[in-house]
Amino acid sequence: MKYMMLMQFGADSELPPITTWTEDEVRAHIAFMGATNHKLIEDGEFVDAQGLADPGRAKIVRSGDGGAPVVTDGPFPETKEFLVGYWIIDVETEERAVEIAAYVSAAPGPGGKPLNMPIQLRQIMDGPSPREA
Amino acid sequence: MDGRSLDDLLRPLVPQVVGVLTRRFADFAAAEDAVQEALLDALDQWPRDGVPGNPRGWLIQVAYRRMIEQTRRDEARRLREERVATWDRAPAADEPDPAGRDDTLITLFLCCHPALTPASAIALTLRSVGGLTTAEIARAFLVPEATMAQRVSRAKQRVKASGVPFAMPGPQERARRLASVLHVLYLIFNEGYVGSAGSALYRVELGREAIRLARTLRRELPDDPEVAGLLALMLLTDARRPARADGHGTPIPLDEQDRSLWDAAVIAEGVALVTEALGRGAAGPYQLQAAIAALHDEAPSAEATDWPQILALYGLLERMSDNPMVSLNRAVAAAMANGPATGLAMLRSLEGRLAGSHRFYAARAHLLEMTGEGEAAVADYREAASRTTSAAERDYLTMRAARLAAHGTG
């Protein structure tokens, strides 16, 4: 069964912004993420993982009158949390998905201490994706 | 030669060639790799150059060469190279065939080893017995090829670590392994069936492949009634495929399906199989499920279905397994045979064990709808929709709730 792990960052998560970390701390964090992805591939559990560009570059798009797009630029000061990246994993059980989510939650931050980031875990519905249909 | 008939020709040969090379080199993992490479060569060359006179011999020769090359390339395996050098020749291309069938069975038993997780066993079986390429298996399961390659590779490592020799297990071990084999084939079939929604090509392929493997298994073990039962169950389920989803992939429940779309020839084959198997004495769970599927398939309509007989079969199945889903199905059959009140009473006693299952709420919604308790039914349909992890099923349950909310509860 497939799960999406959503990594959120922001004021509410009480995590220090990565722009305040030292170079070594950033390096250790990136190395951890790379190693995690590699491990997931080796374990046959990796489907996809992507980081999202800075939320400051996000746009909200709505359809306006006559279907023309109406675009609002970010950032959105009222938004407390941003999605910074996601994984899609394919695992045997939900317990395993929780285990992986807890593992990535503990990615190293300032001083090498685990960040214990909030990871939202969502099961992906069964069924063919549109490109397979 | 088109891709389909090339597949038909190649795939049954794969487990046999794996068997020949595993015996020769005493290394299942390496043999399996070499055969996969030979298979890719065949898929590349045969459509262009024509099919060789002896396809099995061709595959053996090419895989054999690949293995020798691999052995030579691999510095750490120099020792084995010396051993290989003492072998005078590759296995004869035209070795008589009785060993081939045996090898198919041994390879299948090895790939469905109980020590493997279901996902690994499925991947290894589809590749080493089914002859699917890693890319094809990855597409069917919607994961990257590298991920699937790792599953295959880890599965082979586990088989190797378990120290199982490439030989037919003894009678006792054989029964246990056969149970795993049947389970893995059934999982492959369900993967193709449940996810398919009618139009997704690769998923349908999985269902076909499971049936082909079950046919192979039956050829090897013609006297085993559960093997026949599993094949019958797959055929009787697959026969309904053309009617089981609408154009958008939304499932159509059994009682609303256009039965003229069911495949009569496949149903006849399944019914004959299960009838013969049941004639042999104590029936196992696959035969019982096939017998239930046969009663559905032979009925001209949902109302004209032999529900008392289905109820009795679920009763037998319930005594055999501790699966609450069987009890749930028995409650639905009881409702159809003796009225919804009976079914609802049986569901009440299951509530604790099935709390959280969308199937429980879907079944109860259905029975509540039958009794005319529209509002309660709508609530249960919605509850079921919020709990299912199948997109097609969620769509169906949501629409059912909406329809009933608009018309049924007046």
* Contact call for A44 and B154, based on CB within 8 A: yes
Strands in A2-10's sheet, in edge-to-edge order, are A46-51, A81-90, A2-10, A119-123
Cα atoms in the Cβ-side hemisphere of radius 13 Å centred on B57: 10
Which one, of A96, A120, A99, A117, lies nearest residue A108 by Cα?
A: A117
Q: Is B43 exposed, middle or buried (0-12, 13-18, 19+ CB in 10 A)?
A: middle
Read off the tokens for B367: 């029975």
The pLDDT, as a whole number, for residue A120 is: 94
The pLDDT of residue A131 is: 45
Enumerate the residues of chain B whose CB falls inside 8 A of the CB of residue A90: 119, 141-143, 147
pLDDT of B219:
92
Longest pairwise C-alpha distance within chain A? 54
Distance from CA of A121 to the nearest CA of B (A): 14
CA-based nearest residue to B394, from B403, B404, B385 = B385
R_g over Cα of chain B: 24
pLDDT at residue number A77: 60
Do B390 and A127 lie within an 8 Å CB cutoff?
Answer: yes
Record the tokens describing residue A80, joined without a space. Answer: 């407390």
Return the pLDDT at B361: 96
Tell me what pLDDT residue B8 has: 84
- Give the least confident one: B79-93, B182-196, B252-266: B79-93
Residue A7 per-residue DSSP state: E
Which run of H or E residues covers position A10? Answer: strand A2-10
CB-CB contact of A82 with A8 (8 Å): yes
- The CATH class that applies to domain A2-123 reads alpha beta
Minimum distance, in Å, between the CA of residue B151 and any CA atom of chain A: 5
Return the pLDDT at A53.
87
Buried-state track B210-240, b at ≥16 Cβ within 10 A, e below 16: bbbbbebbbeebeebbbbbbbbbbbbbbbbb
Higher pLDDT, B294 or A70: B294
Helices (H), chain A: 23-42, 94-105
- For chain B, give the percent of residues with pLDDT over 70: 89
Mean pLDDT of B106-112: 94
Q: Is A47 helix (H, G, I), strand (E, B) or coil?
A: strand
In one-letter notation, the amino acid at residue A1 is: M
pLDDT reported for residue B297: 97
| Per-position DSSP letters for B77-134, written without gaps between them | GHHHHHHHHT--SPPPTT--SHHHHHHHHHHHHHHT-TTS-HHHHHHHHHHHTT---H
CB contact under 8 A, B199 and A133: yes
Q: CA separation (Å) from B46 to A21, B1, B21, B43?
A: 59, 8, 22, 6
Could you tell me the pLDDT band of residue B197, with boundaries at 50, 70 and 90?
very low
- Select the more confidently predicted residue: A63 or B407: A63
The pLDDT score that the predictor gives to residue A14 is 73
Residue carrying structure tokens 């503990």:
A106
pLDDT at A94: 94
Selected residue with higher pLDDT from B164 and B214: B214
pLDDT at B192 over 70: yes
**3-class SS at A92?**
coil
Q: In this predicted structure, what is the pLDDT of residue B77?
A: 60
pLDDT at residue B95 greater than cutoff 70: no
Torsion of CA B101, B104, B107, B111, to 10 degrees: -150
Sign of CA dihedral B70, B74, B80, B84: positive
In B, what residues contact A, Cβ < 8 A?
Answer: 117-120, 123, 139, 141-144, 146-148, 150-151, 154, 194-197, 199-203, 249, 389-392, 394
Q: What pTM, to 2 d.p., does this model score?
A: 0.87
Whether residues A47 and B142 touch (CB distance < 8 A) is answered with yes
Share of chain A above pLDDT 70, in %: 86
ipTM value, please give it. Answer: 0.84
CA–CA distance, B131 with B153 (Å, rounded to integer) = 15
Angstroms from A59 CA to nearest CA on chain B: 28
Residue of chain A whose alpha carbon sits nearest to that of B193 = A127
**pLDDT > 90: percent of chain A:** 54
What pLDDT score does B90 carry? 53
Q: Domains of chain A: which residue ranges?
A: 2-123
